[in-house]
Chain A
Amino acid sequence: MEVVCHWVRGCCCGDKEKEDEEVKQRRDEEEEEEVMMEEIRFRKSTSSTSLQPAEVGVVQSDSSHWFHTLQTRRLRVQRGRSNSDPVGGVSCEDAVTWRPGLQFGAAQSYLSLEKLGEGAYASVYKGISRINGQLVALKVIRMKTEEGVPFTAIREASLLKGLKHANIVLLHDIIHTRDSLTFVFEYVQTDLAQYMSQHPGGLHSHNIRIFMFQLLRGLYYIHSRRILHRDLKPQNLLISYLGELKLADFGLARSKSIPSHTFSSEVVTLWYRPPDVLLGSTDYSTALDMWGAGCIFIEMLQGAPAFPGITDVFEQLQRIWTVLGVPSEDSWPGVSLLPNYKPEWFHQSEPKQLRTVWKRLNQLPYKTEDLVQCMMKRVPTDRISAQESLQHAYFSTLPPPIMHLRDMVSIFKVPGVRLETEVRDIFNPGRRIKPSLLPAAMRW
């Protein structure tokens, strides 16, 4: 799946900043507004977007009742992580009486609103839970009668069932009927790829730090459980409008706790694949994801992928060697034994200073480059671990309590942690930067 949630421009993307401000001012009205918005959208799309074709009738006949359910729930509550739950997570469980017939695991408990994206083995819809009014992302797995549930889906759900963390997308529910399988995820507005395309030319350095911290925090969590994501890329990092980052798409993920199993070297999108795996090693571990995280780090800084635009493993390796230098048996014992190793590389380039390759590093304190350097090591065993990287000096400017949060607590709960306004915004080109933000913006 390419994306769990695409951005719905009309409703939250363009007005993001405005919405952020407004959230504080008028929480109460917003409850109503969001409900109304969904109602309108629902009217437009009843005919086509319900979960199952067979279910349309049920939904339509029931719709007035459904409106009623939503309208009566205009709760005057503080909104917590409001990105994924329009009625606020707090009082939901108290306020919502469970309606008979609407329960988890049932298709009629969710309405799909619009299609958000299409992946290799699934389509993703924005949806709403009729149980508690939460927005959800419905990932509908295509099932071929012959093959049953795809193994990617089995792995994804099985792994996500055990992962509860503020930086991992939350799997709410699974709907399994005879001929379809739907995963119900929390709804997150956008992903890092979209975010970067909205704010081209590199992100605000403060925001990069916040995103990186969350990415590494999520990785630390899964790595400590011996799970590899194996498909890190900006599209798979969901971003809520608060700036919460969540790892998504565990279709390629797998547990590496059980010894000596077969591992595929055809993992990770080429651009984010580490050199050892490109060389054909299947003996990879958590360092695999750290390379991807490093690539994403650079991409956020530069506004462009670190090693882009190539379709072939060897070209991809070549591009990495241009920056990091060609490995030798001295610098990387055993490298020449890897299947894709080519001796003719031997005479080629020397490692370069990262700041000469990625210019943005020049404008930032040295510790940024240092962390990048630690993550972009050719030899996997030299690469920094997620746990170590969280302790890196690069993150020392974040408020200390951020290091001691419980798993399910978002870093935005820590006072003083918030996103800065990005300098460039393609949806608001003429926007004036607030004076208070200028110094921060000028820093780079």
Chain B
Amino acid sequence: MHKRARPRVLVCEWRGSRSAFSMRRPLRSEWVRAGRCSCWFLSLLQPLEFKTSPAENRPHSSSSSADLHCSAMKHPHRRCQTPPSVTVRVKPNSAHTLQIRRGLRLKRASGQDAQGPAGKSAPSRLQVATPKARIPLAPTIVIQSQEMASYFRLFDDDLIQDFLWTDCCRKLTDKAGAYLLAMTFVYFKRARFTIDEYTRKNFFTALYLANTMEEEEEESKYEIFPWALGKSWRRQFPRFLKQRDKLWVRIEYRAAVSRRCCEEVMAIVPAHFVWQRERSEHHSGAQRQYSDKVNISIPRGPFASPVTCVLCHHSSRLDQGLGSSHPNRGSPAPSPNATYPDPFTALLTLETTPLRAAATGRKAAETKSHVRPPSCCCAEGVPREDSSCGSTLDTSMNWISEE
């Protein structure tokens, strides 16, 4: 089975060819493309940042990534425009990289320890090469194209699509939703998920964790429960929360993600529909106006139509363009260990199939299947079964009909 290349090894490798300083700094920003190795170097691990304004952040991702982006940009539709997956060549066993890896590990250990006055604890870190390299403490991560692709493929999942669709007011996943979804991906990276762990279940867990960090409206994130757990969510949500806690441990308790980091993730495929979600003005800020509707049970879940939102009344779904597709191909089974049947075959397909043709076909299917109330204010009680999933063969939807 495929093993991901260890990001840090890559970083060190690359650094070896340049000055020590360049090991970390360029990683702040762009992808670095050298020869056949196209991978995205990002400073994902740095939880917090100095630079804040979007104006400052944008340029990081623009210049060097431009040529990689442009091929994707040519396709006007919003199909997942993931650049082809490329094998990354590494020499993980060189003495140099090993030493640095050890240094990094050591640093983490001593970082948890009393750090004391910075100068004093230096002796233990002598292995970390140069003092210059120590200044930005931001470890870096490399995003491989197949990881990004696998993440985008999650949005082909019917359930996730319906989830995003039903979240009509974009309270859960909005423009900041772009950010929340980017955070979710960052968690995937920090958790070092393998490709087969890019599952629906992990997606909901990570999204819930992102909401835990960022949102102060408790109710809105509960909406995730029925989607992630099915009808019996009331029984199962403690387990779901345990999963969230496990994920939190797995990412070494670093659930804080900086804006810059999110923007770097989004910059990889900036035109992807996932990043295009906008939160409507009237839902920013903590207004809590919807919580006084006591009689409406929250969360609604996939079984009921979304709550009518007066504020969103005019915002039509179609023009906001959740340009999603309904591929109806085998979406992950709901079990915890659900995997894509074969991510590599899929990736290959992605690489070789003319994207345009594939996507237009899907688009047609989509428009057909999405004859749903156009806005978020669908009437109460539209049965879930009517909806588009066309899931006769889709076992992942079985839980919907089960009691």
Contact = CB atoms under 8 A, between A and B. Distances in A.
A8 interface: no
Given A145-B238, A148-B245, A409 B117 contact: yes
B153 to A, nearest CB: 25
Contacts of A170: 114-115
Given A104-B109, A146-B238, A158-B47, A262 B120 contact: no
B179 interface: yes
A154 B115 contact: no
A276 interface: no
Contacts of B116: 80-81, 85, 89-90, 92, 408
Interface string B49-61: 1101000000000
Given A94-B123, A258-B259, A154 B213 contact: yes
Contacts of B49: 225-226, 257
B124 A89 contact: no
Interface string A145-176: 11111010011011101111000001011101
Given A89-B117, A406-B118, A161 B110 contact: no
B236 to A, nearest CB: 12
Interface in A80-103: 80-81, 84-85, 89-90, 92-94
Contacts of A413: 117
Interface in B33-70: 46-50, 52
B286 interface: yes
A409 B176 contact: no
A93 B110 contact: yes
A132 B109 contact: no
B390 interface: no
B176 A163 contact: no
Interface string A262-301: 1111000000000000000011000000000000000000
A63 interface: no
Contacts of B52: 226, 257
A89 B255 CA distance: 29
A239 to B, nearest CB: 18
B307 interface: no
Contact of B285 (A89, A254, A282): A282
B216 interface: yes
B115 A262 contact: no
Given A148-B244, A174-B253, A260-B284, A226 B48 contact: yes
A161 B286 contact: no
A278 B112 CA distance: 38
Interface in B291-313: none
B114 A163 contact: no
A344 B279 CA distance: 36
Given A94-B123, A226-B48, A173 B112 contact: yes
Given A186-B114, A261-B214, A159 B286 contact: no
A263 B286 contact: yes
A421 interface: no
Given A257-B259, A282-B285, A263 B216 contact: yes
Contacts of A225: 48-50, 258
B353 interface: no
A259 interface: yes
B242 A148 contact: yes
A227 interface: yes
A428 interface: no
Contacts of B137: 164
B336 interface: no
B279 A260 contact: yes
Contacts of B259: 226, 257-259
A11 B390 CA distance: 72
A260 B111 contact: no
Contacts of B111: 164
Contacts of A157: 253
A408 B121 CA distance: 11
Contact of A89 (B121, B175, B176, B183): B121
A92 B286 contact: no
B241 A172 contact: no
Contacts of B212: 151, 154-155
A263 B285 contact: yes
B48 A255 contact: yes
Interface residues of B, number: 58
A247 B57 CA distance: 29
B162 interface: no
A92 B114 contact: yes
A410 interface: yes
A255 B50 contact: no
Interface string B93-134: 000000000000000011111111111110110000000000
Contact of B113 (A132, A224, A265): A132
A161 B114 contact: no
A134 interface: yes
A177 to B, nearest CB: 11
Contacts of B121: 89, 93
Contacts of A164: 111, 115, 137
A85 B114 contact: yes
B174 A80 contact: no
Contacts of A265: 286
B230 to A, nearest CB: 18
A4 to B, nearest CB: 16
A154 B221 CA distance: 15
A104 B113 CA distance: 8
Contacts of B48: 159, 162-163, 225-227, 255, 257
Contacts of B197: none
B112 A104 contact: yes
B172 to A, nearest CB: 11
Given A93-B124, A148-B245, A163-B48, A261 B284 contact: yes
Contacts of B6: none
Nearest to B256: A158
A94 B284 CA distance: 52
Contacts of B255: 154-155, 158
A262 B215 contact: yes
B249 interface: yes
Contact of B216 (A145, A146, A262, A410): A262
A81 B119 CA distance: 13
Interface string A428-442: 000000000000000
A81 B117 contact: yes
Contacts of B117: 80-81, 89, 408-410, 413
Given A263-B285, A265-B286, A408-B118, A93 B254 contact: no
Given A161-B254, A258-B180, 19 more contacts: A85-B116, A89-B117, A93-B110, A104-B112, A149-B245, A154-B212, A155-B255, A163-B48, A225-B258, A255-B214, A258-B179, A260-B176, A260-B279, A262-B216, A262-B286, A263-B286, A265-B286, A282-B285, A408-B115
Interface of B: 46-50, 52, 109-121, 123-124, 137, 174-176, 179-180, 183, 209, 212-217, 220, 238, 241-242, 244-245, 248-249, 252-260, 262, 279, 284-287
11 contacts: A93-B123, A94-B123, A155-B255, A162-B48, A257-B48, A258-B179, A259-B179, A262-B220, A263-B285, A282-B287, A283-B285
